[in-house]
Structure 1
Amino acid sequence: MKTKFKLSTALLAIVLLVNSITVQASINHTNLNNDPEKDKVIIYVLKNVLSRLHFVQKDINDDLSEQIFDSFIDALDSSKRYFTKQDLKEFSKYKYQIDNQLLEDDLSFYNLVYGRFLEKIKNAKSYYGNLLAQPFDFKKNETIDLDYTKVPFAKNDNELIDYWRKQLKLQTLSRIQEQTDLQEAKLEKDKNYKIKSFTTLEKEARAEVLKNMEDLYIRIEELEHDDWFSTFLNSVVGAFDPHTTYMDPRIKERFDQTISGKLEGIGARLQKKGIYTHVFELVAGGPASKQGDLEPGDIILKVAQGDEEPLDIVGMRLDDAIKFIKGKKGTEVRLTVKKKLDGSTKIISIIRDVVQLDETFVKSSIVEKEGKKYAIIDLPSFYIDFSDNNYRDSAKDMEKEIERLKAEEVTGLIIDLRNNGGGSLKTAIEISGLFIDEGPVVQVKYRGESPIVKKDIDPKVQWDKSVVVLVNEFSASASEIFAAAMQDYKRGVILGGNQTYGKGTVQNVLPINQFYPKYKKDLGYIKMTIQKFYRVNGGSTQKEGVYSDIAMPSRLSYMKYGERDMTGALAWDKVPQAKYTQTNSYDNFNDVVYNSKQRIATSKNFKLVNEYAKWLKENQDNTSYSLNYKQFFKESDAKEKEAEKFKSVFDYKSNLTFTSPKYEQSLFKENEDLKDKRVAWHKNLSKDMYISEALNVLSELKLREKTEIVKN
């Protein structure tokens, strides 16, 4: 309660401050702004909210100005396709003035750059159109470097067009090579297959690149002022730290959908192809799937709300089309659809409902090894629906899943957090509490304040047997809270990449209108870093992540990836250790860790993965490509031969059989799609060398008969 009160008091102070100011709507570049007053209100509120509530106290000064300048230019033109040095020279007069403009709610820098960018977008269409209208000279000896951080901006428009030429030439050359390889493969199967000439392949490749470019620029032209202004706002707020972001209402809706694992609508994934909205996939068990008429590949032409007149959505941007198709549970939507199979037009009526995104939720699999049952619980995110306390969340689901597995006499658990990017701090604490007695789980700290110890207050231990936590370089945030707690309590063995992602910060999502209530239009949201979290041992996971007890080679082992490689990431630090009691759950923890490390070190599979990771790193660092077709083919063939020795890198097969828990098997008769998904998952588990090693570790762990208490 104390923490919430402090935050609420600070919010109230900002509301009062912001409402004491009248934002001027006058602006010189009204032709560039849909709503200049709204833009200035957002800027005004954000700078005040950030300076008062962000975890880092940062002055709005020349250093911040330079950071925003570089970030915004890079966000618009990271591949150096639009701006020239002449443009940058003109922009640079504002390089150390953006801070002053922010203080005065002045958008001159944004308007200049945005206006120029719109001009460049129009020019780009003529660039690629003219360049792709005629064959490239593939005999010319020249190269292109795709590491655009090393490439300077073009001196002038002529050099800019040459940058375009090289990029389009590379795309064309890549397609020629793909088609050449396909032809050779077909010729091996059919000696009568007629090979196309290089001239024909080159012409077809250019046509394909042109179509891709036209599709790309259709999507770019659909973007509105608010989209580009959001890019600028994210350059401003991102100067405080990489995880502080501005979200317009559409992005916020997607964020809520991701973290809750549900949406209200028809249960269809859509994609834009040219001017048409296509059905890409139906969500199993969703309204569209149950209704049965809508199919993948169908084109949605019109949308009607109940008995209202249909709205033509051909040519409409995808986000806007989705807005009309989605809707509240129980409402009717009528879709005018062109069917993929026969091209006929059909009106399909669907009653919207709550759609659960099953891939978001907890699932488990049971496997028998040496006469004992073990289970893998896959936790893809720490999901929760903050708007509905009665809806399922990851903590409730984990508790329920563990209870079901106990009923099937499972003796050990693997908690799979690979690729789990985090989610709710609340559920991370509650899930940790399922494995320990009541006590500290994590510490959180606001700017300039002492850390607050967040505890599991439930004395019940849901699972008191062996635990292995499987992580990788993509396990972040709430995943790291859970893994760190299991490691600090010596409750589980952490197995995976050398270290996890390293995101040790907490964000809060706040509606901007809360700070400016008299403004009636939706101003969007700010997801802002307000806290850092720390392990119970006092160390931060920021940048460092959680180091695995047992590190296994992965394809990312040598790649630059994680918080430590992000520009502007907050620093690692530590706070005093919390008072907690280690469980020391295992008699043979050190022996098990040693045995596993020995197996990994001598494993042919893991050795090959390690070599593969080094090879990937070498290729990542080599960003230069020849644009001479003979040299390009020669280099490609050489890489292909190198890649051959890694062809079997993940060709692993265990002799283990994975099955669904009994409660889930009973659902398969009514849900064939669920059954198919589980069969595919179980097949992948049997070919997963990381799961196999986790099971080796789990099978060797011996629980202490009497828990040894170690107080910290």
Structure 2
Amino acid sequence: MKKNFALALLIMLVAVASCSFTNKSFENDDKDKLLLDLIAYVLEKGHYEPKDIDDDFSVNIFEDFIDVLDPTKRYFLEQDIIEFEKYKFQIDDQIKNTDISFFNLVHQRLMKRMGDAKEIYKKVLDQPFDYSRDETINIKYDNQAFADSKKDLTERWRKQLKYATLGTYDGKLTNQKKKKEEDPSAEILSKEEIELASRESTRNTLDEFFDFIDDLERKDWFVQYINTIVDEFDPHTFYFAPEDRERFDISMSGKFEGIGARLQKKPEGAKIVEIISGGPVWRDQQLEVGDEIIKVGQEGGTPVDIVGMRLDDAIKMIKGPKGTIVDLTVRKVDGSTQVISLTRDVVELEESYAKSANIIKGDQKFGLINLPKFYVDFDDYSERNAATDVAKEVERLKQEGIEGLVLDLRDNGGGSLKTVVEMSGLFIKDGPIVQVRSSGKNKEVYDDKDERIQWDGPLVILVNELSASASEILAAAMQDYKRAVVIGSKQTFGKGTVQNVIPLDNIVRSNEHGDLGAIKLTTQKFYRINGGSTQLEGVKSDVVVPDRYSYIDLGERDQQNPLAWDKISPADYQVWDGYIDYEQTIANSERRMAGNSQISLIEENAKWLKVQQDEVIVSLNYRDYKNKELAVKKKSDYFKSLSDYDSKLTFESLKYEQELFTKDSILREKRDRWHKNLAKDVYVEEAVNVLQDLKINNIKPTKLASVKG
């Protein structure tokens, strides 16, 4: 369906554009203006909710582009911003007239200021840092003013470089102390020598950073300008330059070499927002969602500071060929700093597939299916896909005699719409699953038309803040039907939009400029069968259970310019009336969770992490810094007891999988590790409790109550 819609949209755009662009005359060397014109056209004609390109839009572009180029405010001066402001209300007119004067001025000035910055950082790093001095730095840069003089700018660089060097200084000092403790006769460096070595390390980092910047071409900066415009429409609409389009195609196929994590640009570094199952990060288990990468080094080489670097450029440094090592300096969720070395690899697709386990509690057996994503081969649906695989796992679990089923959609970022509809149909007789609306058109209702119910027993769905898109559709449908009890975070991610990739070359006739890249465009919106959108609000769990991300900004609401929540008319559907005490079961679960000591500790940890993330004033005094580090470590160690939890549940692989272990020891190791983690999982434990409350003998003969839209 998604592919058909993309084709229809492309045909529509081409039909209209053939009149627009064939009559426009651009100089052969003015590809930038053609690209700007194309992007503006596609956004106006194809976006689900096109914005008015007016003065308000112009102000947003003005502020966001400068913020993208200089997030730590260590290049531009206040006088530059004042000069740029003559364009503050004109960018909308420039977009309409394919004028790039604003970009040209800002880009030229940035190149000059970066040249000035090279002199400043070298001058600053020629002088020792006094770590006994009582001073602080505010690391929340977005609310700070630009420096009003070169003197003020130099002072800003001094503080930022002292902050960047402080962790290195501490690490070298600690290593010297350990060396002396292990061998009292060993010669160690003085504090002055350590301080000098730390500054030199920072100097090498900046030298490499600016070497990297010098390699960028004007077109690289213009792509950033285009994406600043595109990003005003919504966070999922994005322009791919030709080389980026190729990387996107590779990532969509699921075959790419890197560390296996999705990143989001933040002023303080590159924030990890998703960990891909089977990748190096997933296997290593040291990094987690919410961690921020601040430096990147190549196999023991000098690390490069990526704070303030464009996200695309930072990713280029992090990715690399299979077997090579990348050293990541990371600010952890709890505020501590670590260097984590990872061996790049091809992400293992197998770990993105559905897998299942038996859960043994006393004399009862329950089933659990973990689904990391809604995968599908769009070119050949008969190939392996999530719906077919889950159906197989359900059947296998039934044969093993389970009395209830847990479907784990935590950290599932979504995928194919078709698989969601088919998968939902495994648990209901028939009926609508999701509603989809395109801009200016009537809604379409996607139904399960197969009257067979593969699993009619108790069902629990686990979600968290990172369950997104297709995961939210399935959880919402089962919740609206009252078919399952949804347990998890206060709400899921909140991505209720659909994107399609449109190659720009297909829109322009007689293109003399080469590959123009593509745009990933938001074209449709999802709605629950009850009429409410999953956009922003996500799915609210029936039983809300805190986790360590409960108070941290994650999800669609933390993105820039998300589309709003809205509501349409409900679909015609019939509520599952198979449970006797559905509402009482939810009340019982809430009561258990309120009195659970493990949940209380998780809640305490979540609140502490929020406090750590909200601290933006950092001491540059070494004594204070060290005391803070020790306090953080002590508290972190206190929360490590969370991983000691034992649910007293037993997890076993299914018979068919156990037979594979004799030939595949790696598979056995993966499953053993998974089962070990499940046994510590309080959320799975509670899911089993809910299944017991909804146990087989507490289910009525299927009765359906009608709900009319």
**Equivalent of 2:24, from 22, 25, 42?**
22
| Deviation of 1:184 (Å) | 6.2
Aligned to 1:343: none
Whether contact under 8 Å (1:260, 1:383) holds in the other structure is: no
Aligned to 1:129: 122
**Equivalent of 1:418, from 398, 410, 413?**
410
Q: Deviations along 1:172-213, whole A, 9 cap, x unmatched?
A: 222333445566677777877877543343233323333433
**Equivalent of 1:235, from 208, 218, 228?**
228
Q: Deviations along 1:531-585, whole A, 9 cap, x unmatched?
A: 1111000111111111000111111212222223433222211111100011133
Aligned to 1:498: 490
Aligned to 2:290: none
| Deviation of 1:414 (Å) | 1.7
Summarize the Cα distance change of 1:203–1:355 in structure 2 as closer, same or farther, 3 Å threshold. closer
Whether contact under 8 Å (2:661, 2:668) holds in the other structure is: yes
| Deviation of 1:711 (Å) | 0.6
Summarize the Cα distance change of 1:318–1:223 in structure 2 as closer, same or farther, 3 Å threshold. farther
Pair 1:13-2:6 in alignment: no
Q: Which amino acid aligns with 2:101?
A: S
Q: Which amino acid aligns with 1:148?
A: Y
Task: Write the distance in 1 (CA, Å) between the matches of 2:128 and 2:236.
Answer: 45
Task: Write the distance in 2 (CA, Å) between the matches of 1:253 and 1:462.
Answer: 40
TM-score, scaled relative to structure 1:
0.82
Q: How does 1:320-339 map to 2 (within 5 A)?
A: none
Q: Higher relative contact order at CA 8 Å, sep ≥6: structure 1 or structure 2?
A: 2
Whether contact under 8 Å (1:559, 1:617) holds in the other structure is: yes
Q: Which amino acid aligns with 2:484?
A: G
SS at match of 1:648: helix
Task: Write the distance in 2 (CA, Å) between the matches of 1:708 and 1:184.
Answer: 72
Q: How does 1:466-477 map to 2 (within 5 A)?
A: 466-477=458-469
Moved more, 690-699 or 97-106: 690-699
Task: Write the distance in 1 (CA, Å) between the matches of 2:33 and 2:40.
Answer: 11
RMSD: 3.4
Task: Write the distance in 1 (CA, Å) between the matches of 2:359 and 2:149.
Answer: 64
Q: How does 1:397-476 map to 2 (within 5 A)?
A: 397-476=389-468
Summarize the Cα distance change of 1:646–1:188 in structure 2 as closer, same or farther, 3 Å threshold. farther
Aligned to 2:144: 151
Q: Deviations along 1:607-660, whole A, 9 cap, x unmatched?
A: 111111111112222200121223333343444444454342343223333233
Summarize the Cα distance change of 1:430–1:211 in structure 2 as closer, same or farther, 3 Å threshold. farther
Q: Which amino acid aligns with 1:472?
A: N
SS at match of 1:543: coil
Moved more, 650-659 or 566-575: 650-659
Q: Which amino acid aligns with 1:400?
A: K
Task: Write the distance in 2 (CA, Å) between the matches of 1:270 and 1:220.
Answer: 25
Task: Write the distance in 2 (CA, Å) between the matches of 1:657 and 1:223.
Answer: 55
Pair 1:67-2:69 in alignment: no
SS at match of 2:391: helix
| Deviation of 1:72 (Å) | 1.4
Aligned to 2:358: 366
Q: How does 1:217-616 map to 2 (within 5 A)?
A: 217-262=210-255, 357-519=349-511, 521-616=514-609
Whether contact under 8 Å (1:65, 1:95) holds in the other structure is: yes
| Deviation of 1:166 (Å) | 0.8
Summarize the Cα distance change of 1:498–1:466 in structure 2 as closer, same or farther, 3 Å threshold. same
Summarize the Cα distance change of 1:666–1:128 in structure 2 as closer, same or farther, 3 Å threshold. farther
SS at match of 1:666: helix
Summarize the Cα distance change of 1:257–1:400 in structure 2 as closer, same or farther, 3 Å threshold. farther
Pair 1:175-2:168 in alignment: yes
| Deviation of 1:407 (Å) | 3.1
Aligned to 1:89: 82
Task: Write the distance in 2 (CA, Å) between the matches of 1:244 and 1:499.
Answer: 23
| Deviation of 1:317 (Å) | 11
Summarize the Cα distance change of 1:18–1:360 in structure 2 as closer, same or farther, 3 Å threshold. farther
Task: Write the distance in 2 (CA, Å) between the matches of 1:493 and 1:612.
Answer: 26
Whether contact under 8 Å (1:471, 1:494) holds in the other structure is: yes
Aligned to 2:668: 675
Whether contact under 8 Å (2:76, 2:113) holds in the other structure is: yes
Summarize the Cα distance change of 1:661–1:206 in structure 2 as closer, same or farther, 3 Å threshold. farther
Summarize the Cα distance change of 1:597–1:183 in structure 2 as closer, same or farther, 3 Å threshold. farther
Aligned to 1:29: none
Percent identity for Structure 1 against Structure 2: 44
What are structure 1's unaligned runs of at least 5 residues?
A: 27-35, 272-280, 285-296, 300-315, 327-334, 339-353
Task: Write the distance in 2 (CA, Å) between the matches of 1:201 and 1:584.
Answer: 71
Whether contact under 8 Å (1:399, 1:434) holds in the other structure is: yes
Q: Which amino acid aligns with 1:518?
A: S
The alignment covers a number of residue pairs equal to: 637
Whether contact under 8 Å (1:490, 1:583) holds in the other structure is: yes
Task: Write the distance in 2 (CA, Å) between the matches of 1:627 and 1:321.
Answer: 29
Summarize the Cα distance change of 1:226–1:366 in structure 2 as closer, same or farther, 3 Å threshold. farther
Summarize the Cα distance change of 1:367–1:145 in structure 2 as closer, same or farther, 3 Å threshold. same
Task: Write the distance in 2 (CA, Å) between the matches of 1:39 and 1:625.
Answer: 42
SS at match of 2:526: strand
Task: Write the distance in 1 (CA, Å) between the matches of 2:318 and 2:141.
Answer: 35
Whether contact under 8 Å (2:438, 2:524) holds in the other structure is: yes
| Deviation of 1:471 (Å) | 0.7
Task: Write the distance in 2 (CA, Å) between the matches of 1:250 and 1:587.
Answer: 57
Q: Which amino acid aligns with 1:255?
A: F
SS at match of 2:486: strand
Summarize the Cα distance change of 1:674–1:256 in structure 2 as closer, same or farther, 3 Å threshold. farther
Aligned to 2:283: none
SS at match of 2:460: strand
Task: Write the distance in 2 (CA, Å) between the matches of 1:226 and 1:71.
Answer: 19
Q: Deviations along 1:18-46, whole A, 9 cap, x unmatched?
A: 333324127xxxxxxxxx53322221111
Summarize the Cα distance change of 1:686–1:186 in structure 2 as closer, same or farther, 3 Å threshold. farther
Whether contact under 8 Å (2:22, 2:508) holds in the other structure is: no
Summarize the Cα distance change of 1:391–1:370 in structure 2 as closer, same or farther, 3 Å threshold. same
**Equivalent of 2:73, from 72, 77, 80?**
80
Aligned to 1:161: 154
Whether contact under 8 Å (1:364, 1:378) holds in the other structure is: yes
| Deviation of 1:494 (Å) | 0.6
Aligned to 1:49: 42
TM-score, scaled relative to structure 2:
0.82
Whether contact under 8 Å (1:395, 1:427) holds in the other structure is: yes
| Deviation of 1:6 (Å) | 6.3
Q: Which amino acid aligns with 2:580?
A: D
Whether contact under 8 Å (1:259, 1:385) holds in the other structure is: no
Whether contact under 8 Å (1:498, 1:552) holds in the other structure is: yes
Whether contact under 8 Å (2:432, 2:446) holds in the other structure is: yes
Task: Write the distance in 2 (CA, Å) between the matches of 1:249 and 1:377.
Answer: 39
Aligned to 2:706: 711
Task: Write the distance in 2 (CA, Å) between the matches of 1:517 and 1:585.
Answer: 59
Task: Write the distance in 1 (CA, Å) between the matches of 2:238 and 2:460.
Answer: 34
SS at match of 2:432: strand
What are structure 2's unaligned runs of at least 5 residues?
A: 262-275, 280-297, 301-312, 326-345
Task: Write the distance in 2 (CA, Å) between the matches of 1:611 and 1:584.
Answer: 38
SS at match of 2:30: helix
Whether contact under 8 Å (2:258, 2:318) holds in the other structure is: no
Whether contact under 8 Å (2:234, 2:561) holds in the other structure is: yes
SS at match of 2:140: coil
Task: Write the distance in 2 (CA, Å) between the matches of 1:318 and 1:242.
Answer: 18
SS at match of 1:58: coil
| Deviation of 1:9 (Å) | 5.5
| Deviation of 1:155 (Å) | 1.4
